[in-house]
Chain A
Amino acid sequence: MSRAVRAIIVAALAVLWIACAVALWRSSTVPGNLHLPSVHVRSLFTPAELARTARFEGFLRIEFVLSQLALISALVFWAWRGPGYIRESAAGRIGTGMLLGMLGLAVAWISQLPFTVAEVWWERRYGLLRTDYFDAIFGDWWGLGGEFLAISLTLLIVMGLAGWFPRYWWIPAAPVFVAIAALFVFVFPYGSDTHKLRDPQIAADARRLARAEGLGKVPVEVEDVSSETSAPNAEAVGLGPSRRVILWDTLLDFPRDEIRVVLAHEFGHLKRNHLLKALAWYTLFAFPGAYLIAVLTRRRGGMRAPEAVPLSLLVVTVLGLIALPAQSAISRHTEAEADWVALNTTKDPAAAERLFRRFTRVALEQPDPPGWWAFLTASHPTIEDRIRMARAWQQLHQR
């Protein structure tokens, strides 16, 4: 294939990719003509509250940056020294790759230990975390085992395909990973440690809101986390018959009108098919991501060779960091849409505003974090922006 033909194919694929991304982005919307009024956070929170959240999140920001540097350093080290561990394997090509992949995760876990301890110390100091150090560090030991299994399965697929198609394994691998991700999203709710919502009033509200959003019957379940944390949270999970909304029990102490906003927000995710769209975004990123891994590991023999596995972990992590702003922007975009759906459903911007303000007080979310931080990592609009949206909705419907 000549260079020109290849360039044309690459350009066509790039255009197709961009067109898909734009279509996907546009499929989640809040009114384009919405005027967001300015809000002064100093008028919403006391100086002590603002200082407290700034202190709290400031530490976590430094910790995040340092932990990412440590992670990259650890993986650079592993990319350099990891192939030496091939002698620790009597397994074949793929089994040895699995061992190097798992050990890479182990090295990454070790590199994150000091930061985990620091984070636990900090969150305990602010009363957000209730678990002890041992539980916080080793409580999820089996979770790490699950990650070991997951990376083994991933490497089984990648190295198996790379054995057959050394240069083009990434083409069949990407859809396989999308299928696995879809399966995981579908199955995840069935494995969650949750129970039914026991409060009849909130359950009735949930049914009403789900109906109002045209969703039919969607189970609402509660996850008991109050022994571990005081932070509130909720999530919409599952696909098709497995979809449901999970509320943390820490949220159930909130006033009923605020819980209604949370429920409407999560139903908004389901109504606007955000999980399916997340899978679509994953598909879009999976192809170029897998391609880049294939290209960047070629110097080590490509993903067919176990020697390339440590380097591939570094590549995946760096690509993940590079994609982080885009990932955050997509997440903020869909969260904003869910907020908008919630406002339209509850028609209660005052409750929404009280809820967002409570997040700052209870979960210590800084209402106006530095722009670079929000740009890089924020999965939700800032509290300030969410309050502005609530007020914009109010203004829109007062006219």
Chain B
Amino acid sequence: MHPVRLTVSDDRRRSRLTVFFRLLLVLPHLVWLAGWTLVAEVVAIANWIAVVINAESPPVLHEFLARYVRYATHVFAFLFMAANPFPGFVGRPGYPVDLEFAPRERQSRLSAAFRLLLAIPAAILASLVGVFFLRFGLILLTAAGIWLAALILGRAPRGLRDLAAWALGYSAQASAYVLLVTGRYPDSHPDRLLGEQTLPYHPVRMRVEDDLRRSRLTTFFRLLLAFPHLFWLIIWGVVAAVAAIVNWFAALIVGRSPRVLHRFLAAYIRYTSQVYAFLFLVAGPFPGFVGHEAGSPVTAVVDGPTGQRRLVTLFRPFLVVPALLLWTALGLLLVPVAVGGWFVGLGRGRMPSGLRALGASLIRYGAQVQAYSLVVTDRYPSSSPTLRSELQP
């Protein structure tokens, strides 16, 4: 288990008033956090010297920096609406989106000496997804989504809340690593970061049976090897678009997707997920061309057709827009996953499990968005990065 553990006890209820004025309400915290950051930077240098010499962080410095990281997480959880209550100013435990720190442990001097260099990949990912030294990533988009939903529903959608919490958790681990609070590299694995939780049933899920081993040769040429698949995917995509239009009319009239069209579109969704998994190094083996489940060890699984609400089907072209927007942003995250996986794959012949799981989670969301837009299901895509989900409705 990672020594910096994220805990989420948020009940997703949001006060419309505090949500509406969230940006103003957080101002005192931002001012206080800025001052705390200045001190933390000086303390971090002292901590760095101490760890390089002693291989251990002095208790006072460790406590101070851990508290700083925890406080920053509280503030950003409040700002980006991953949590509802106004946080305290000293970083005490107990906030709905919180961090737990394991006791101090010895760290490698060599790793500590080169910490800033070693942290670059994690820092890049953290700044792309969450908050890292005042660089904001995807969390801005999730915050906008939660803001809008919370104003209307008085609740934060679970998927967006989980996504924001995951981004904050990863950012916190990256900050703790840079500040030498821990010597453990940040872990992007959604299930490990968000803890044991299972998503509600969705007819489009992800099956990940890949063994993490990567052939260096196929890793080096991955982009070019995917060319035939991308070419085939484009051709299939054109036909699938036509099939989706027919499917839309059919679902509108009979209230469910005809079996033949469902089978065809499900195969297309599976195939797309398999090609993405191969292209972005989430899977090792070269996938098949027909979208069978056996075509790749990392694949979307699509359940059979069920009834679809006609009203949802009628407005599907509009309803899908927010999910498509989010997918556009989440899909871009596959690029750092692939770049990171490419370098590690070439060096070690393996894909880091955290990156693999993150990639699988992103592809799962893409598959669910695809299924929703192609009228394969009327279940809205879940943006939660958690991979585990219930298998029965």
Contacts and interface: CB of A to CB of B under 8 A. Distances in A.
Interface string A137-181: 000010011001100110000000000000000000000000000
- Residue among B225, B287, B295 with the most chain A CB within 10 A? B225
- Residue among B218, B283, B286 with the most chain A CB within 10 A? B286
A106 B286 contact: no
A180 to B, nearest CB: 15
Contacts of A95: 286-289
Contacts of A96: 286
Interface in B66-111: none
A98 interface: yes
Contacts of B231: 149
B113 interface: no
A107 B220 CA distance: 11
Given A103-B217, A106-B221, A90 B227 contact: no
A149 B274 CA distance: 18
Contacts of A148: 224-225, 227-228
Contact of B218 (A88, A91, A141, A152): A88
A91 B288 contact: yes
Contact of B228 (A85, A92, A152): A152
A85 B288 contact: no
B47 interface: no
A148 B231 CA distance: 11
A103 B221 contact: yes
Contact of B284 (A88, A94, A107, A149): A88
B294 interface: yes
Given A99-B225, A99-B286, A144-B224, A90 B294 contact: yes
Interface in A110-152: 141, 144-145, 148-149, 152
A38 interface: no
Contact of A90 (B223, B224, B228, B295): B295
B296 interface: yes
Question: Looking at chain B, what size class is its interface with the partner chain?
Answer: 20 to 34
B301 to A, nearest CB: 15
A145 B287 contact: no
Nearest to B288: A91
Contacts of B225: 99, 102-103, 106, 148
Contact of A149 (B217, B227, B285, B295): B227
A99 B278 CA distance: 12
A273 B285 CA distance: 47
B297 interface: yes
Nearest to A109: B221
A207 B325 CA distance: 55
A306 to B, nearest CB: 11
Nearest to A82: B217
Given A85-B215, A85-B217, A96-B286, A91 B227 contact: no
Interface in B202-228: 215, 217-218, 220-221, 223-225, 227-228
Contacts of A94: 289
B287 A91 contact: yes
Interface string B213-255: 0010110110111011001000000000000000000000000
A89 interface: yes
A89 B285 contact: yes
B295 A85 contact: no
A254 B138 CA distance: 58
- Residue among B220, B284, B285, B297 with the most chain A CB within 10 A? B285
Given A99-B225, A102-B225, A144-B224, A90 B217 contact: no
Interface string A71-93: 00000000000000101111110
Interface string B273-299: 010000000011111111000111100
Nearest to B284: A88
B287 A152 contact: no
Question: Looking at chain A, what size class is its interface with the partner chain?
Answer: 20 to 34
Contacts of A85: 215, 217-218
Contacts of B296: 90
Contacts of B288: 90-92, 95
A56 B286 CA distance: 44
Contacts of B217: 85, 103, 106-107
A91 B295 contact: yes
Contacts of B295: 90-91
Nearest to B292: A92
Contacts of B287: 90-91, 95
B286 A89 contact: yes
Contacts of B297: 90
B227 A88 contact: no
Contacts of A152: 227-228
A92 B271 CA distance: 14
Nearest to B231: A149
Nearest to B214: A88
A90 B221 contact: no
Contacts of B227: 145, 148-149, 152
Given A95-B288, A99-B286, A88 B224 contact: no
Given A85-B215, A85-B217, A106 B224 contact: yes
Nearest to B210: A90
A102 B224 contact: yes
A87 to B, nearest CB: 8
Contacts of A91: 285-289, 295
A339 B285 CA distance: 53
B218 A90 contact: no
Contacts of A92: 288-290
A103 B217 CA distance: 8
Nearest to B295: A90
A220 B236 CA distance: 38
Interface in B334-392: none
B277 to A, nearest CB: 10
Nearest to B218: A88
A116 B228 CA distance: 26
A88 B228 contact: no
B177 to A, nearest CB: 33
Contacts of A90: 274, 283, 285-288, 294-297
A272 to B, nearest CB: 37
Nearest to A87: B285
Contacts of B289: 91-92, 94-95
Contact of A88 (B215, B274, B290, B294): B215
A92 B223 CA distance: 20
Contact of B285 (A88, A103, A106, A153): A88
Given A89-B286, A91-B289, A98-B228, 7 more contacts: A85-B218, A88-B286, A91-B295, A103-B225, A106-B217, A141-B224, A148-B224
Q: Sort A-B residue pairs by CB-CB distance and give the 8 closest, nearest first.
A: A90-B285, A152-B228, A91-B288, A99-B286, A89-B286, A106-B221, A145-B224, A145-B227
24 contacts: A85-B217, A87-B285, A88-B286, A89-B285, A90-B283, A90-B287, A90-B288, A90-B296, A91-B285, A91-B289, A91-B295, A92-B289, A95-B287, A96-B286, A98-B228, A99-B225, A102-B224, A102-B228, A103-B225, A106-B220, A106-B221, A106-B224, A145-B224, A148-B228
Interface of B: 215, 217-218, 220-221, 223-225, 227-228, 231, 274, 283-290, 294-297
